[in-house]
Amino acid sequence: MSSENSFDVVSAIDMQELNNAIQQAEKEIDNRFDFKGSKSSIQLDKNELVVISDDEYKLNSVLDVLHSKMVKRGISLKNLQYGKLEPAASSTVRQRIGLKQGIGQEHAKKINVLLRDSKLKVKSQIQGDQIRVTGKNKDDLQKAIQLLRQSDIDLDLQFVNFR
């Protein structure tokens, strides 16, 4: 009974939940008094959000509304990568926010080193944009999950396929 147990470490955003959060934020912006007559909007383009508003102050308010809706729907803000503020058409400002999907090479290497240095009896290997962690003892795998949750990696990690 020396079978290997494993789980996968992934980093992904639930796009349906993100869509719902954007729709809720736009509804609130349409109904709020301080946004009456403003040109504020949130759009989702493939792997980035585009937030447009009248000025920097209102753009920050739109982002606050969006962040609160995302947190309520269980979407981590760690997977957002903010671009710089840029002027847009008809005296508005725009900010592009990239969505981090998957675990990049530098984060994957950092996770591998973290698991290797922990002295747990687990092995990890990079498989595309996810990491497979294997070990004989389920308790070691649970400790590895705890270790990764407490680490300072700036990605929202999910643990799937625990077998």
Q: Yes or no: is domain 15-99 CATH 3.90.600.10?
A: no
pLDDT over 60 at 152, yes or no: yes
Query: For residue range 15-56, what is the model confidence (pLDDT) as tens digits?
Result: 999 999 999 999 999 888 888 888 888 999 888 999 999 888
**Per-residue confidence (pLDDT) for residue 27, from 0 to 100:** 93
Token output for 49: 């959000």
CATH, domain range 5-12+103-160: 3.30.70.860
pTM: 0.82
Calculate the alpha carbon distances from 141 to 92, 124, 153, 158, 162 in Å.
Answer: 50, 11, 18, 14, 9
Calculate the alpha carbon distances from 161 to 6, 61, 141 in Å.
Answer: 7, 39, 12
Helix (H) / strand (E) containing 106: helix 105-117
Token output for 97: 């926010």
Provide the residue ranges of all domains of the chain, joining segments of one domain with +.
5-12+103-160, 15-99
